[in-house]
Chain A
Amino acid sequence: MKLYLKIWRQKDASAKGQMVDYTLDGVESDMSFLEMLDILNEELISKGEEPIEFDHDCREGICGTCSLQINGRPHGPDTMITVCQLHMRSFNDGDEIVIEPWRAKAFPVIKDLIVDRSAFDRIQQSGGYISVNTSGRPVDANAIPIEKHIADTAMDAATCIGCGACVAACKNASAMLFTSAKVSQFALLPQGQVEAAERVQNMVRQMDLEGFGNCTNTGACEIECPKGISLENIARMNREYLSASVKG
């Protein structure tokens, strides 16, 4: 099939970016979206032009690196998948496709379609862990039994891949879904209890410091999240935050 692409090009963080038009022919329906971009890049290189830079690594939906806004939607038209899993069979011959990087103040553009998501790392560094000594000798794993449904709910929250689609989908560029997933995972597990209050306060503080917006409960994040992270996590985080603030 033949596609008309409009792609965001930006030299570096300080440069002014712009949309550039490309026409690409010979796209097959069982190609992945990123393989389609690979082919475009091969064409550009052979013409002596600079290829379009985009972030990707595992190409199987788990590392959270790929991050394209396609026709206005993070990770493109399909639900519950990342861009690297999106296949061209979701498009038709002659389609016009607009490809942009995540848009959020806290995610500055590095080049073309690549953004800087290190703010997410800093949120995790502010408390997204359990403070257990790694060189020590903890108790036997089965000495901490955890009811199956609780373990499963914690696992559901833990599947967040840190891609940032929730932020890109949100009109306020809020990082609530991402942050709440980690808070929830640990709030649900007995191992996470001791530091629960401190954790939620620190992580929320860092989230605000990084310049993410507020959550106004529009739910766009949940719709675009490739891992189905649920809004319930935001509710749980709000409860945790409230009770932590009451305790002081």
Chain B
Amino acid sequence: MGILDSKEPQGPLADKWTKHKNEIDLVNPANKRNIDIIIVGTGLAGGSAAATLAELGYNVKTFCYQDSPRRAHSIAAQGGVNAAKNYQGDGDSVYRLFYDTVKGGDYRSRESNVYRLAEVSTNIIDQCVAQGVPFAREYGGLLDNRSFGGVLVSRTFYAKGQTGQQLLLGAYGAMNRQIQRGKIKSYTRHEMLDLVLVDGKARGIIARNLVTGEIERHSAHAVVLATGGYGNLFFLSTYAMGANVMAAWRAHRRGAFFANPCFTQIHPTCIPVSGDHQSKLTLMSESLRNDGRIWVPKRKEDAIAIREGKLKPVQLSEEERDYYLERRYPAFGNLVPRDVASRAAKERCDAGFGVNKTGEAVFLDFASAIMRYGKEKALTSGMKDPDDNTIRELGEKIVEAKYGNLFQMYEKIVDANPYKTPMMIYPAVHYTMGGLWVDYNLQTTIPGCYAAGEANFSDHGANRLGASALMQGLADGYFVLPYTIGDYLSDDIRTGAIPTDSPEFDAAEKDVRDRMEKLMSGTGIHSVDYYHKKLGKIMWNKCGMSRNEKELKEAIKEIAELRKDFWENVKIPGRPDSKNQELEKAGRVADFLELGELFAKDALERKESCGGHFREEYQTPEGEALRDDENFKFVSAWEYMGEPSTAKLHKEDLVYENIKLKTRSYK
């Protein structure tokens, strides 16, 4: 195990972070001016880190591939952000948030990191409110909360269905303030293509200006990768089209270990696939599960009739419907965690009860919520004996106030009115819990290279509870990295600016150019999307919601063959020295083709079921995930050895001192 040192501080859990902050080295403010930091990614993690590090006095350079930092994928998060504020007085606490997160992640996250996350969560809300983030309020003017899957308290703060957008605009504003002060230099439409190491330390990056095609060298004393998740590997996912693994993968090839690549979250409430042309899946926020009830018909004949359009869902009575989550998990009902809800939907559809044309959808129904709210409203407004239609109208208004924009989005995409007929939903790839391995300081196995937000692996284990990714991104950026990076940089106060004309930069730039040339010299038969779609199909069918040994082995072989074909036959029009979106895509897909194989290898190695990783060979008689703590209570951290097939596995044993490992039950 030797080389994986998690650097967890000793002592009682609740004191670890404070103690650590007191003990690590600081950089004198006057010296910070002489230190440069590169931050790749301007989402919640990168944006907040950039603003805070610049605020502290470091010289920061930020990079993103979009035309503005404000467009990072974090913008799309709908539901909310958790914090253990206990404003609702429903028994929430730092410990409970910590406990729920570790349990929700099926005991595959690092205890000390998760505790720290819960601890700083309350500061996040204070910080964002001070920045003017318009969170939802109650009539009394105080902050409102709602609950999410996997928990029994209301700790989720939200801004309509646009929480990610508002939090990101907060961080973007903080960045803008530092750009104005000259402390951040923002490089937009720039893509990091490689990491540069000098004497074994991360000292810069090679980036491509996506407008001019120029290859640029940028140096710094430390490099932070906040580049998001790699779920686009599946082609169809809820990720933005440009989301990619390139920066993390390049760092992996340079020596950063890649942890738990197979831990992928499949989100239960997405709009189902409609056809072959589809480029992207759209999420319906999980908050809908607070009021929506999930069901399929009890009888197969009814399911078939619905699929053929001969029967309308509203024609089925309560008794003819199977509210399978409420049936199987009475304590949590529709609010079970995502992995449980997703698998249950797949189970019903596989058994022949799916309700859309392809049989891959279940209903998310608001009829009872509409009637319940309507009755309440009628009562509180003193109406006597209102008829059903009036009640329904009143109820629809209340549901509209809560979820209006989501309902509108659904209607635009599907062309059906969810107030009148239940929505159809199906699970889709949504978040990757795996990522670059980091220690307690968020440093990767490359000194000076850090990873934050979705790009690292540490906090969510094998499954992420809702509203905790935003929390983690902001915690890393605003409150963790600014301390821990100082500890490392305190050794660099005399280093001076890092030159970019060194042999190391020459070599890295040459690698990048050679690779691009090779990509563009293929004999040219198929487009980049052709390969991406093929990879996505293999991933979804064989490494998706459930996996087995046979298919994983097939996937490994098929991906390796596809990769070979790609490098020989991909067709990229245009030139490398100008704007070229096909070339951009090709670079990203090339890396997905390597990661995909490692992903399958990791899934094959993990002979247990936990969280988002379900191995069919390991399940209870009731079809629930069967974890094996005896043999698999570890993080798998893969070291690059030249090819995905030769990657070397290192294990970080997970130590639980404060939580007793239990079978996860939501019954």
| Chain A complexes with chain B | yes
B240 touches A58 (CB 8 A): yes
Are the CB atoms of A138 and B127 closer together than 8 Å? yes
Q: Contacting A129 at CB < 8 Å: which of B131, B143, B279?
A: B131
Contacts of A32 in B (CB 8 A): 279
The verdict on A142 contacting B87 (CB below 8 Å), with A50-B574, A134-B51 known, is: yes
B66 touching A65, Cβ below 8 Å: yes
Contact call A51/B176, Cβ cutoff below 8 A? no
Minimum distance in angstroms from A220 CB to a CB of chain B = 22
Interface residues of B in 580-604 (CB under 8 A from A): 581-582
Q: Quick one: CB contact mask for A138-159 with B, threshold 8 Å, 1 for yes?
A: 1111101111100110110011
Of the listed stretches A1-9, A92-100, A184-192, chain B binds A184-192
User: Is the pair B173, A139 in contact by a Cβ cutoff of 8 Å?
Assistant: no
* CB pair B581 A53 closer than 8 Å: yes
The interface bits of chain A over 198-237 (1 if a CB of B lies within 8 angstroms of the residue's CB, else 0) are 0000000000000000000000000000000000000000
Encode contact with A along B267-296: 1 for CB under 8 Å, 0 otherwise. Answer: 000000011011110110000000000000
A135 touching B129, Cβ below 8 Å: no
Q: Say yes or no for B413: interface residue by CB 8 A criterion.
A: yes
CA distance A61 to B240 in the complex (A): 11
Q: CB distance A130 to B131 under 8 Å?
A: yes
The reply to whether B282 and A60 form a contact with Cβ atoms under 8 Å apart is yes
Interface pair A189/B134, CB less than 8 Å apart: yes
A186 touches B579 (CB 8 A): no
**Would you call B571 and A148 a contact (CB within 8 A)?**
no
**Interface residue stretch chosen among B2-10, B157-165, B340-348:** B157-165
The B43-71 residues at the A interface (CB cut-off 8 A) are 48, 51-52, 55-56, 66-71
B76 A58 Cβ-Cβ under 8 A: yes
Q: Given A35-B277, A141-B126, check contact A51 B581 (CB 8 Å).
A: yes
List B residues 152-186 near A (Cβ within 8 Å).
Answer: 159-160, 162, 165-166, 169, 172-174, 176-177, 179-180, 186
Interface: A74 (CB within 8 A): no
Binds B, one of A119-127, A167-175, A239-247: A119-127
A104 within 8 A of B: no
B173 A63 Cβ-Cβ under 8 A: no
**A50-B574, A134-B174 are contacts. A30–B415 as well, Cβ < 8 Å?**
yes
Give CA–CA (A189, B240) in the complex, Å.
31
CB <8 Å contact, A117 and B413: no
| A161 in contact with B165 given A64-B70, A129-B177 (CB within 8 Å) | yes
Are the C-beta atoms of A139 and B130 separated by less than 8 Å?
yes
* Contact B76 A62, beta carbon cutoff 8 Å: yes
Alpha-carbon distance A242/B317, docked complex (angstroms): 62
The residue on A at minimum CB distance from B271 is A60
**Bound complex: CA A44 to CA B572 (Å):** 11
> How far, in whole Å, are A110 and B87 apart by their CA atoms in the complex?
49
Indicate the member of A38, A55, A124 with the most B CB atoms within 10 Å.
A124
**0 or 1 for each of A90-120: is its CB under 8 Å from B? (1 = yes):** 0000000000000000000011001011101
Complexed CA–CA distance, A75 and B164 (Å): 23
Which of B127, B159, B478, B578 meets A12, CB within 8 Å?
B578
Known: A57-B240, A60-B282, A118-B188. A132 touches B134 (CB 8 A): no
A38, A62, A81, A121: the one contacting B165 at CB < 8 Å is A62
Asked if B162 contacts A62 (CB within 8 A), the reply is yes
Q: Are A135 and B52 in contact (CB under 8 A)?
A: yes
Complex contacts, A147 vs chain B, CB 8 Å: 137, 141
On whether the beta carbons of A63 and B52 are closer than 8 Å, the reply is: no
A12 and B209 alpha carbons, distance in the complex (Å): 14
CB-CB < 8 A to B162: which residues of A? 62, 159
CA distance in complex: A81, B408 (Å): 10
Q: How close is B178's CB to chain A, nearest CB, in angstroms?
A: 9
| A39 adjacent to chain B (CB < 8 Å) | yes
Q: Which residue from chain A places its CB closest to the CB of B53 in the assembled complex? A: A135
| With A30-B415, A65-B66, A158-B169 as contacts: A132 and B130 at CB distance below 8 Å | yes
A31→B71 CA distance, assembly (Å): 24
A-chain residues with CB within 8 Å of residue B130 when the two chains form the complex: 130, 132, 138-139, 141, 144, 191
Q: What is the bound-complex CA distance between A127 and B67, given in angstroms? A: 20
CA distance A61 to B306 in the complex (A): 30
Contact yes or no, B71 A151, CB < 8 A: no
Most B-side CB within 10 Å, residue of A59, A62, A87, A144:
A62
Given contacts A148-B141, A155-B160, A158-B166, contact A63 B129 (CB under 8 A): no
- The answer to whether B67 touches A118, judged by C-beta atoms less than 8 angstroms apart, is yes
Contact of B280 among A59, A129, A130 (CB under 8 A): A59
Tell whether, in the assembled complex, residue B409 and residue A132 are in contact, meaning their CB atoms are under 8 Å apart: no
Task: Determine if A134 and B48 form an interchain contact, defined as CB atoms under 8 angstroms apart.
Answer: yes
Determine the chain A residues whose CB is within 8 A of the CB of B136 once the complex forms: 151, 155
Contact B573 A50 (CB under 8 A): yes
User: In whole angstroms, how far apart are the Cα atoms of A60 and B408 in the complex?
Assistant: 12
* Measured CA separation A30–B276 after assembly (Å): 11
Q: How far is the CB of B168 from chain A (nearest CB, A)?
A: 10
In whole angstroms, how far apart are the Cα atoms of A35 and B68 in the complex? 23
Are the CB atoms of B131 and A191 closer together than 8 Å? yes
Nearest-neighbour CB distance to chain B for A45, whole angstroms, equals 5
For the complex, give the distance between the alpha carbons of A141 and B409 in Å.
31
B123 at the interface (CB under 8 A from A): yes
Knowing A58-B240, A59-B280, A125-B179 are in contact, say whether A120-B68 is a contact too (CB < 8 A).
Answer: yes
- Tell whether, in the assembled complex, residue A61 and residue B409 are in contact, meaning their CB atoms are under 8 Å apart: yes
0/1 per residue, B132-155, Cβ < 8 Å to A? 101111111111000000000000
Given A57-B240, A155-B160, A148:B280 Cβ within 8 A? no
Pairwise interchain contact B176-A121, C-beta atoms closer than 8 A: yes
Known: A30-B275, A51-B581. A138 touches B126 (CB 8 A): yes
**How many angstroms between the C-alpha atoms of A144 and B412 in the bound complex?**
37
* CB neighbours of A72 from chain B (8 A): none
A111 and chain B: residue at smallest CB distance = B579
Could you tell me if B279 and A34 are in contact, using CB atoms closer than 8 angstroms? yes
Q: Cβ of A238 < 8 Å from any Cβ of B?
A: no
Are A134 and B134 within 8 A (Cβ)? no
Measured CB to CB, the nearest residue on chain A to B56 is A135
B203 CB to closest chain A CB (Å) equals 25
Known interface pairs A53-B581, A147-B137. Does A162 touch B68 (Cβ–Cβ under 8 Å)?
Answer: yes
Docked complex Cα distance between A135 and B480 (Å): 10
Find out whether the CB atom of B71 lies under 8 angstroms from the CB atom of A48: no
Q: Name the residue on A nearest B87 (C-beta).
A: A142
- Of the listed residues A38, A57, A89, the one surrounded by the most CB atoms of chain B closer than 10 A to its CB is A57
Task: Point out the residue from A35, A38, A53, A124 that lies within 8 Å of B176, measured CB to CB.
Answer: A124
Q: Is A25 an interface residue (CB 8 A)?
A: no
* Cα–Cα, bound, A28→B415 (Å): 14
Cβ-defined contact, B126 with A140, below 8 A: yes
Residue pair A60, B529 in contact (C-beta under 8 Å)? no
B68 touches A48 (CB 8 A): no
Cα of A35 to Cα of B529 in the assembled complex, Å:
12
- Annotate B112-135 by CB proximity to A: 1 below 8 A, 0 otherwise: 000000000001011111111011
Q: By the criterion CB–CB under 8 Å, are A28 and B132 in contact?
A: no
- CB neighbours (8 Å) of B52 from chain A are 134-135
Chosen A-B contacts, 11 in total, with CB atoms closer than 8 Å, are: A28-B277, A30-B415, A31-B275, A45-B573, A59-B240, A111-B211, A124-B70, A124-B172, A142-B87, A144-B129, A161-B165
Apart from the given pairs A134-B478, A135-B56, A146-B137, 6 other A-B contacts in the complex at a CB distance below 8 Å: A28-B277, A38-B529, A50-B573, A130-B130, A138-B130, A142-B87
- Interface positions of B (Cβ within 8 A of A): 48, 51-52, 55-56, 66-71, 73, 75-76, 85, 87, 123, 125-132, 134-143, 159-160, 162, 165-166, 169, 172-174, 176-177, 179-180, 186, 188, 211, 240-242, 274-275, 277-280, 282-283, 408-409, 412-413, 415, 478, 482, 524, 527, 529, 571, 573-574, 578-579, 581-582
Binding site for B on A (CB under 8 A): 11-12, 28, 30-32, 34-35, 38-39, 42, 44-46, 48-51, 53, 55-65, 78, 80-81, 85, 87, 89, 110-111, 114, 116-118, 120-121, 124-135, 137-142, 144-148, 151-152, 154-155, 158-159, 161-162, 185-186, 189, 191-192
Closest 6 CB pairs of A and B: A129-B173, A145-B141, A138-B130, A141-B129, A155-B134, A151-B137
